[in-house]
Amino acid sequence: MTQINITINIEDLKEKIENSSLESPVKASLTLLLNSLMEKERDEYINALSHERTDERRGYRNGYYERQLVTGAGALKLNVPRTRDGAFSPSAFKRYERYDQALVLSMMEMVINGVSTRKVTKIVEELCGEKVSKSFVSEITKSLDPIVNDWKNRPLNVSYFHYIYVDAMYIKVREDNKVVSKAIYIACGVNQKGYREIIGIQIDYKESTEAWSRFFEHLKSRGMQSPKMVISDAHAGLVKAIEESFLGTSWQRCVVHFLRNMINKMPKKNSTEAREELKNIFRTSTLAHARELKDEFINTYQNTKGLQEVIEKLDAGFEDAMQFHSHDKRYYKHLRTTNMLERVNREVRRREKVIAIFPNDQSAIRTIGSVLMDIDEDWAKSQYFRSFDKEK
């Protein structure tokens, strides 16, 4: 490799540092150094100095063009030499192109972690020393689209998911010059090795049987088979869609949601003892004992004022809330509730609150999908159901 010797005019450098509007002398020094490097590289490419006449000359100069280079010291405006044949390419940009990549990746990570576009724009301005628009930041983050879309549409036939957890949360999206509320569906599964995966994300206008069925059909179109059990809350449209979409699959009603619904119907006063007895029904480790406690509760409070609706709900929903008892006892804690998915929703909500209103559906998929990908990556590091592969 040819060694290039660069001679820098110290007085020129001093003048540039003293008179430059650049905030840091380091930037002025680096600008002069890179410009000198590119000039020397062009001399070598042409094999002749400026105005030098020689038989070994391989081309001619063709002035300069200005180009910005983002480096660790900030954004530099460089004078890039050109040749008439257009084939000359200085090494400075190849050497420092990683700074451009690092800046883009940092911006995307800030957006994913819940930093607002306005704040990201301000940070980039401080790094680069010049104004950038919010649309510039938005365009950069669109680089995530193909990554997120590939992930959310990946094949699911490589694993069998024994258990599926599903839920929906509402977000605000701009549509036709107005702000509308939309439901975003999220599905998590536990595969045959006992590891959790986020297997689905989709946006629809509302929670309904038709919308949930579309979501389940999307999962099946990617190769997902009917699971052993689906765990969710008791939204009527969701429950019906589960019955229609997954033949032979049982439905586990989230015990936490079920208890909360019943307790909210109890009188505020003089119901402490009844509340504890109701909770004890779902704390026992055997189904037979749970049934005994349920029958005792109904017999004890069937004539108590204010508890008739609670008894009706308990009697109607008890079996659906006890489906986890037909599976391995080691997994009762995880199968009886949607707590795992609730934690996912809280993390999504924490990031989503910063944005408040998404400009469109794809923006929501991009941001929320990136958050879910991050969670999914963490889940892959440890088993959720230990010894799952040894299940009897």
What pLDDT shows up at residue 67?
Answer: 82
Measure the CA–CA gap between 265 and 247, rounded to whole angstroms. 33
Neighbours of 190 (CB within 10 A): 29
Tokens of 313: 């709900």
Cβ-contact 308, 202 below 8 angstroms: no
Secondary structure class of 197 (helix, strand, coil): strand
What pLDDT shows up at residue 98?
Answer: 47
> How do the pLDDT tens digits run along the chain, 392 residues long?
344 444 445 455 445 544 544 445 556 766 776 787 788 888 888 888 877 788 788 888 888 888 877 665 567 788 889 888 888 888 766 655 544 555 555 555 566 565 556 666 666 555 555 555 556 666 666 767 888 889 999 999 999 999 999 999 999 998 888 999 999 999 999 999 999 999 999 999 888 999 999 999 999 999 999 999 999 999 999 999 999 999 999 999 999 999 999 999 988 888 889 999 999 999 888 999 999 999 999 999 888 888 899 999 999 999 999 999 999 888 999 999 999 999 999 988 887 877 788 888 888 888 888 889 889 988 998 888 876 655 54
What pLDDT shows up at residue 214?
Answer: 95
What pLDDT shows up at residue 8?
Answer: 46
Neighbours of 263 (CB within 10 A): 14
Neighbours of 125 (CB within 10 A): 13
**What is the value of pTM for the model shown?**
0.69
What pLDDT shows up at residue 2?
Answer: 43
What pLDDT shows up at residue 285?
Answer: 86
Tokens of 233: 């809350």
- How far is C-alpha 96 from the chain's CA centre? 29
Task: Tell me the CA end-to-end span of the chain in Å, nearest whole number.
Answer: 66
Measure the CA–CA gap between 345 and 223, rounded to whole angstroms. 25
What pLDDT shows up at residue 217?
Answer: 96
Token match 């949930």: residue?
212
Measure the CA–CA gap between 124 and 180, rounded to whole angstroms. 31
- How far is C-alpha 384 from the chain's CA centre? 20
Measure the CA–CA gap between 106 and 177, rounded to whole angstroms. 31
Measure the CA–CA gap between 336 and 333, rounded to whole angstroms. 6
Measure the CA–CA gap between 187 and 196, rounded to whole angstroms. 11
Cβ-contact 32, 39 below 8 angstroms: no
DSSP H helical ranges for the chain: 10-19, 25-46, 92-112, 117-128, 134-141, 145-152, 209-221, 236-245, 255-263, 272-281, 287-301, 308-321, 332-335, 339-355, 361-379
Measure the CA–CA gap between 98 and 17, rounded to whole angstroms. 26
